[in-house]
Chains A and B, each alone.
Chain A
Amino acid sequence: MKRRLLTGNGAAAWGARLANVDYVPAFPITPQTEIIETLGSWIDSKEMAGRMVTLESEHSMVTAAGAAAATGVRVFTATSSQGLLYAMEMLYTVAGWRAPFVMVNVSRGLSAPITLEPDHNDILAARDSGFLQIHAATCQEVLDSVLMAYRLSEDARVRLPVIVNLDGFYLSFTREPVEVPKEDKVLSFLPPFDPENIRFRASTPISQAVAVLGGGPYSYFRYETHLAALNALSVFDEISVEFGRFFGRSFDAVEAYRTEDAEFVFVMMGSFATKAKEATDRLREAGWLVGLVRPKLFRPFPKEHFLKLLKGKKGIAVIDQNISMGKGGVLYTELASVLYGSLDDGPVMASFIGGLGGRDISSEEFFEIAKVIRRAAEEGKAPPPRLLYTEEELREMRKLQVIANAERNQAGKRVGKKDE
């Protein structure tokens, strides 16, 4: 097995190349563009088979992706942030078609204000779409996730599109050594896509995505999609075992780091969880019994994995790199719904929001989070949610506001003069 120094975007492109994808409908957007540029150059130089087409929008891109998958070819596509939201109508639509394909999303904060740096509000907006979601934290995981995603997506018990998520900049443009598996090994793990009888052929006409009348048929198809997504839980575990056998690396639905004897657990998704991992080691050195739990699989939600890992813990700190306006952290809410009533003497939970628009989470903050959750466990009372922000950051922000005000006053004077 070859190790290459790859960016997260490069690893995503390698995943698509190794999966032998037939078709890549594309549209550029920062920080995803490197993925389609890489695939485009491989296709142009014939290092890779397949056809790439640049659409005029992400909405059209996802339409073409779904339509091609519904016709029976293996499809890969990628987007980010505003692009994912622009395509949102079609995300729900093609998931309803049960069109199996893989889309990489390179997470980036949403407008407004417009930014390029990452958080998870884009990907979590797709939470209820019917796409399954795998969240990567390393470049290796990006490549592995794409291969896992095709197996999951095309499995007859699932047959749903899958999004593989990686964080913009922190992962998309960070080079890490990545083991690139051999093509023949990937081919044994991931054989060509068999659409069975769901495809367009002149000899076997078919109507796909037709309208329904009334709530009965509508509910039936919606429930069926939900149940298929739930099927993906056991299918994922099954494929994960196979993945380990083929490639010698495990790929579990949920990563548990130093949790066995931990009293307090951080719960995070994506590449920022590697910061929590580092903090866990430092806190351990300082004598704290802490650990980290990180879901790779977010849809379907791996409820049982969480229950097993969090049983008997004293406190849980969920650090969300997203914010649901008027509610708070999405992962916190999801996890609370799983734990409530499921564990006797369940752990105290605390919610923290951090890392929005790529804002760093420092190790001091992880120490502070650990303190908050320990105190909460001692008092047996959940603390109020916290929005991570330092005094230093606020000072810097105030400076910007002073400048903004001064600029506005200046502009006002200039306009005033003209009028005179």
Chain B
Amino acid sequence: MSEETFKSVKDLPSTRLLCGGTPMCSGCGALEALHEIYDILGKKTVFVNAAGCMTLLSIYPFTPFRGSWLYTAMASAPAGAQGVRDALDILIEKKQMPPEDDLQVVVLTGDGAAYGMGLSSTSAAIDRELDFLYICYDNEGYGNTGQQFSAATPHAAKTATSKGPRGYPGYKKDLFSIWAAHKPPYVATVVGSEPLDLAKKIEKASELKGPRLIIAFSPCPTGWGFDPKLSVEIGKLAVKSGVWPLKEYIDGKVIHTKIPRKRVPVEEYLKVQGRFSHLFSPKRNEELISEIQARVDAYWKEVEG
């Protein structure tokens, strides 16, 4: 494959390598992204997983993966990837395994692990220049335990542990910048509802060596409170409103891959989700809506210069 493989949506694979019938919720934005990613990565992969929603993909004796899988724990999936990668390298070096038996090592965690408990082991894996791909499906909360807020939760969102009238008091952590500060070969944000952008980035990541890290924005019907059929639409709205910037860090530079020139008001994105309903009823909270809009505007003002 080369960078030119995916020029239009028509070029995207429709292999559906990841089987259906998983116990993920309907409309799961993380599963949507994973389907698209897996079709590009293929089955010569071993997914090293940390505790989260996706842990339930492989339940004895079933797995939707055609390739391999190792569940580790919540904090240390990148260290598991280190052990697998090193062992494969050793086996190839000692000629105890043919190079064609080699696997791409892929860490798969949610935002709870990526933004919090697993940040130390991720940082260290980047320090060690581990050759691996990290996929964080970011559903902006501890989804598998019923959507309590995490360090990835956006300001004002209602979660199981921020039910007050102002929602979550903190601000979503900028994991993209934290990862990029380590200067790895590649960092990118994606969303399943922008499959062409996603495919190009996963392909680019596959062609590089060393730590490559992807944050996949993952609309979550059960956690965010919306009809599953709106999942793709909400992903698109996140991009169009500028809430979820699609970008990549490569060769020391951050490039925005899709700049929404005429951004829709953030309100359009907020009002279709139960987790922000307290901003609109019983009384419109103009102050909070404006604050969120102002933060998005400030971000893009800096990008556009």
Contact = CB atoms under 8 A, between A and B. Distances in A.
B86 A51 contact: yes
A202 B121 contact: no
Given A65-B83, A72-B91, A203-B101, A208 B70 contact: yes
B91 to A, nearest CB: 6
Contact of A205 (B66, B71, B76): B66
A211 B97 CA distance: 28
Contacts of B46: 200
B181 interface: no
A227 interface: no
Interface string B149-177: 00000000000000000000000000000
A210 B83 contact: no
Contacts of B302: none
Interface string B65-91: 111111111011011111110111111
26 contacts: A22-B94, A23-B86, A53-B82, A55-B79, A56-B121, A59-B79, A60-B76, A60-B78, A61-B79, A67-B48, A67-B79, A67-B80, A67-B83, A67-B87, A71-B83, A93-B72, A201-B97, A202-B44, A202-B102, A207-B63, A207-B68, A209-B71, A210-B60, A210-B69, A211-B71, A217-B60
Interface of B: 43-44, 46, 48, 55-56, 58-60, 63, 65-73, 75-76, 78-84, 86-91, 94, 96-97, 100-103, 120-121, 123-124, 127-128
Contact of A213 (B44, B59, B67, B90): B59
B213 to A, nearest CB: 17
Question: Nearest 3 pairs between A and B by C-beta?
Answer: A67-B83, A60-B79, A56-B124
Given A56-B124, A201-B97, A205-B43, A68 B79 contact: no
A73 B75 contact: no
B69 A208 contact: yes
Most buried by A among B68, B69, B76: B76
A68 B86 contact: yes
A212 B60 contact: yes
A63 interface: yes
A84 to B, nearest CB: 15
A66 interface: yes
Interface residues of A, number: 40
Q: Which of A69, A71, A213 has the most CB of B within 10 A?
A: A71
Nearest to B79: A60
Contacts of A90: 73, 76
A104 interface: no
A273 to B, nearest CB: 35
B124 A60 contact: yes
Given A55-B82, A211-B55, A211-B58, A72 B87 contact: yes
Contact of B87 (A63, A73, A210, A211): A73
A90 to B, nearest CB: 6
A90 B88 CA distance: 21
A358 interface: no
A13 B102 CA distance: 30
A66 B86 CA distance: 12
A52 B37 CA distance: 32
Contacts of A212: 59-60
A64 B80 CA distance: 5
B100 A207 contact: no
A308 B127 CA distance: 55
A210 B72 contact: no
Contacts of A61: 79
Contacts of B102: 202
Contacts of B89: 51
Contacts of A71: 83-84, 87-88, 91
Nearest to A93: B73
A68 B72 CA distance: 12
Contacts of A201: 97, 101, 103
Interface centre among A59, A68, A69, A90 (most CB of B within 10 A): A68
Given A63-B79, A67-B81, A56 B123 contact: yes
Nearest to B94: A22
Contacts of A213: 59-60
A86 to B, nearest CB: 11
B86 A64 contact: yes
A70 interface: yes
Contacts of B58: 207, 210-211
Contacts of A415: none
A206 B91 contact: no
A218 to B, nearest CB: 9
A89 interface: yes
A203 B101 CA distance: 6
Interface string A65-99: 11111111101000000000000011001000000
Contacts of A89: 73, 75
B72 A67 contact: yes
A56 B73 contact: no
Nearest to A87: B76
Nearest to B120: A56
Nearest to A213: B59
B59 A202 contact: no
A73 B120 contact: no
A70 B70 contact: yes
B63 A210 contact: yes
B87 A22 contact: yes
Nearest to B83: A67
Contacts of B56: 211
Contacts of A72: 87, 91, 96-97
A333 interface: no
Given A63-B72, A64-B79, A23 B128 contact: no
A210 B49 CA distance: 10
A401 interface: no
Given A68-B84, A90-B76, A201-B101, A53 B70 contact: no
A55 B122 CA distance: 11
Contacts of B44: 202
Q: Which of A23, A51, A201, A206 has the most CB of B within 10 A?
A: A201
A63 B87 CA distance: 13
A217 B110 CA distance: 26
Nearest to B63: A207
B103 A202 contact: yes
Interface in A200-249: 200-203, 205-213, 217
A25 interface: yes
Given A205-B43, A205-B66, A208-B69, 6 more contacts: A63-B121, A200-B46, A203-B100, A205-B65, A206-B68, A210-B63
